[in-house]
Chain A
Amino acid sequence: DQQVKQNSPSLSVQEGRISILNCDYTNSMFDYFLWYKKYPAEGPTFLISISSIKDKNEDGRFTVFLNKSAKHLSLHIVPSQPGDSAVYFCAASSYQGGSEKLVFGKGTKLTVNP
């Protein structure tokens, strides 16, 4: 049972345009969401997060939007740069059994073409 879904395995955009990466979740107990970026041969790197009490969080070129009613979040990258080419993982967090657990999606590979 996949609780966090990234339905697009890959996305290709032109440099300077907007990249929109989507993520859906099923567990209503999730109350904190994160995006991680991963380059080949490296571990994931934290990018941006959002609490369920917010619907938007912005950090430079990166903005995450949360639609709780739809159980959907998205990451917008504007403008996209070739260095943004990586695999992006959406993750959701819930506090269960006295501990915090992160559940990851399968990732979306973003390619930004010069």
Chain B
Amino acid sequence: DSGVTQTPKHLITATGQRVTLRCSPRSGDLSVYWYQQSLDQGLQFLIQYYNGEERAKGNILERFSAQQFPDLHSELNLSSLELGDSALYFCASSARGVKVETQYFGPGTRLLVL
């Protein structure tokens, strides 16, 4: 158990819909990262937050957005969903979000868009 929790574990929705994925970091960790893993793909970095502020952006679509709240939990919002958005979405956390820090991953949310 990494200490990072993600809800829900599974999500099935239809194209055009909007969903919210939630992540609670390990106790004391200030930085949260979101990753997407599509079929046969490695993990693609989406976005990083540190202590409530966006720190780094990766290959995140404009239809996707995220935020980190004062209690440090984070939400990833996916809107206007397309079939290709079906994937595993992982959240990770680290203490300060700085270089060479180990990221601890949650179990992921499996999203299926029909």
Contact = CB atoms under 8 A, between A and B. Distances in A.
B105 A44 contact: yes
A51 interface: yes
Interface stretch (B14-22, B37-45, B60-68): B37-45
Contacts of B25: none
B103 interface: yes
Nearest to B55: A99
Interface residues of A, number: 28
Contacts of A6: 42
Given A43-B108, A46-B102, A51-B100, A103 B45 contact: yes
A101 B90 contact: no
Given A45-B2, A49-B102, 19 more contacts: A6-B42, A42-B108, A43-B2, A43-B90, A43-B92, A43-B106, A43-B107, A44-B90, A89-B42, A89-B43, A91-B43, A93-B99, A93-B100, A99-B55, A99-B97, A101-B48, A101-B56, A104-B42, A104-B45
Interface of B: 2, 4, 33, 35, 40-45, 48, 55-56, 58, 90, 92, 97-108
List the 9 closest A-B pairs by CB distance, nearest first.
Answer: A43-B105, A99-B56, A104-B42, A106-B42, A104-B43, A46-B102, A44-B105, A99-B55, A43-B107
Interface of A: 4, 6, 32, 34, 36, 41-46, 49, 51, 89, 91, 93, 95, 97-107
7 contacts: A36-B105, A43-B108, A44-B90, A99-B55, A99-B97, A105-B42, A106-B42
